[in-house]
Chains A and B, each alone.
Chain A
């Protein structure tokens, strides 16, 4: 494995490493679709926070295909799939005490979502 040298630093930082995957994967959803987040309780890594599990939201945008962390964190490869921003009303997530107009947006992968 390459050892990071002083000469590599500037370009490494300026380039980074996108988690985007250039692979054609069929999206399960499109902008405007209503979705319900699943309620998995995996013992491994996931980026689906507890507070948005089992909640109904709307697909705000489809960002294309990205590495799926739940697989990638466990040596299971990139398992590429579509990543969406999902809009939830604050009241859907936190109940009637939450601000009537407020909304929470989370970036969620296909595997976290079901049609609603």
Chain B
């Protein structure tokens, strides 16, 4: 079924969203302050720092890691992260033999509570088309070259499960505490397009 449009929308999306917001507000279907609160939440509270704390906890607490890999939703909730676009979480573990990579080929599914909103490249056609068919070439563009001996596991989020990669703890971090470890963990390492680098010397 095609969309039926009776008049072309203006080219300026700012004008279009303003029109929609104004129309819904006039109809008393929208409270603009609720939008402000929502946006603020995602701009200040929800982002990859949350996921990094989960990773650092898993690196330092083997029993937590076990819980994280068997029931990720509950283990992530232990640290206070839950909800929208992370209602049913799965965490997949990188090892010296296995590298995991996340993608959503159909849209832009992404684990909001732990990683925040996805970057533009994750939602765009090049990554979504290529990650499944040529993961090594994709990873190379991110500066990560993996030998053929490593098994790449690509997780296409086709349903409402949301994935996060548990990256490998880098060498040379044996003395670091959880907080310092969390600072090393990047968004891309939890998507699988990067590894976590050790502390800079």
Which residues in window 92-106 of B have CB below 8 A to A? 105-106
Q: Check A104–B154 contact: CB distance below 8 A.
A: yes
Q: Check B82–A105 contact: CB distance below 8 A.
A: no
Contact with B along A11-52 (1 / 0, CB 8 A): 011111111100000000000000000000001100111011
From the candidates B86, B88, B151, name the one contacting A102 in the complex (CB within 8 A): B151
From the candidates B41, B83, B158, name the one contacting A49 in the complex (CB within 8 A): B158
Q: Collect the chain B residues with CB atoms within 8 Å of residue A108's CB.
A: 158-159
- Alpha-carbon distance between A85 and B102 when the two chains are bound, in angstroms: 14
A51-B105 contact given A13-B83, A16-B82, A16-B85, CB 8 Å threshold:
yes
- Alpha-carbon distance between A94 and B31 when the two chains are bound, in angstroms: 49
List residues of B whose CB falls within 8 A of some A CB.
1, 28-31, 33-34, 36-38, 41, 46, 82-88, 90, 105-106, 132-133, 135-136, 148-161
Secondary structure of the B contact surface, majority rule: loop
Interface: A101 (CB within 8 A): yes
- Alpha-carbon distance between A101 and B147 when the two chains are bound, in angstroms: 11
Q: How far is the CB of B63 from chain A (nearest CB, A)?
A: 22
Contact with B along A79-97 (1 / 0, CB 8 A): 0000101000010011000
Q: Collect the chain A residues with CB atoms within 8 Å of residue B160's CB.
A: 18-20, 66-67
Q: How far is the CB of A65 from chain B (nearest CB, A)?
A: 12
